[in-house]
Structure 1
Amino acid sequence: MKKINRRQALGTAAGAVAAAGLTACAAKNSGSSSSAGDPKGGAASSSPAPIPTGTVDEVFEGRRIQITFDGGGNHDGHHTPGLPTVRIDGNELHVMRNADGSWVSVVNHYQTFPDPVAVVRAAVRDLQGAALAQFGPTGGTS
């Protein structure tokens, strides 16, 4: 009986893992076109939801969250159309909207959220009680 060497065993195992991964991807993509697998909860081809209007003023984990949906954020004197003004304990948190309608902030830049309220709550959790640094120029000399 012929024994297989370590290289042959590793090659066979890698091929089996690759085949299993491709099969799982194919099964996921061949399913229905529902958004069950989408972490954001929406279909990839759907258009971004409109930004709500009004205000949110709440205390979350001991921090005061204020969000003003006025159709344009005022980030340190720079008006940004379409973005809400978001504050944590009076300090501004810069938020951005992605093309797919998800939201990110400077605190959670690589994690997306479905709406600005979820973004600011995640930022509060990640700050762990630390003060939010001032956004924009501080007015000092260069």
Structure 2
Amino acid sequence: MPRLTRRRALAAGAAVAATAGLHEPSAAAQGHSREHGHDHDRDHDHDHGAPEAFDEVYLGRRIQGRPLAGGHHHGGGYGVFIDGVELHVMRNADGSWISVVSHYDPVPSPRAAARAAVAELRGAPLVPLA
């Protein structure tokens, strides 16, 4: 089996997006997290430092984010997980974040990247990058 590369992962993600169509989270889905005491406007990093850790259930999926020891190259040493599987995230030069699931849709925080990935996955499991 060929080794999974970033290029292959992005190509596979693009194929899934093309066959599934693009999806914006519904107003009800966006409000779901507010019912649990979460505020989308609070997702920005404080004092331009490392993002805060989070652990919540969003649209029925457990999303977590936390600083990681050792510092990854693009994620700045920050890990994001959906149902325990790592979602590869990357911080852009402008401070926005992207993930392998929503690579072309920058968001303000790792939490927002996890939420966008959950919405895009529509219940499908996240397949880890090898």
Normalised by the shorter chain, which TM-score bucket?
A: 0.5 to 0.7
Percent of pairs with identical residues = 54
Is 1:93 aligned to residue 73 of structure 2? no
**Counterpart of 1:124 in 2: which secondary structure?**
helix
Q: Is the 8 A contact 1:64 1:89 kept in 2?
A: yes
* CA RMSD in angstroms, aligned pairs only: 2.1
| Distance in 1, Cα, partners of 2:70 & 2:89 | 11
Contact 2:51 2:110 in 1 (8 A): no
Contact 1:71 1:82 in 2 (8 A): no
Amino acid at match of 1:60: Y
Do the aligned partners of residues 107 and 94 (structure 1) sit closer, same or farther apart at CA in structure 2, a change above 3 Å counting?
same
Q: TM-score, normalised by structure 2?
A: 0.57
- Residue identity opposite 1:51 in structure 2: A
Structure 2 gaps, min length 5: 1-46
Q: Kindly state the Cα deviation for residue 85 of structure 1 after the two structures are TM-superposed.
A: 0.8
Equivalent residue number for residue 27 of structure 1: none
Larger Rg: 1
Decide whether the 8 Å contact of 1:51 with 1:71 is kept in 2: no
Q: CA deviation at 1:72?
A: 5.1
Alignment length, in residue pairs? 83
Which of 110, 113, 125 pairs up with 1:119?
Answer: 113
C-alpha deviation, 1:134, in angstroms: 1.4
Match 1:109 to one of 93, 100, 103: 103
Question: Quick one: which of 75, 78, 86 aligns to 1:84?
Answer: 78
Q: Separation in 2 of the partners of 1:101 and 1:83?
A: 14
Aligned to 1:69: 67
Query: Any gaps of 5 or more consecutive residues in structure 1?
Result: 1-47, 74-78, 137-142
Q: Which runs of 4+ in 1 moved over 6 A?
A: none
**Structure (1 or 2) with the greater helix fraction:** 2
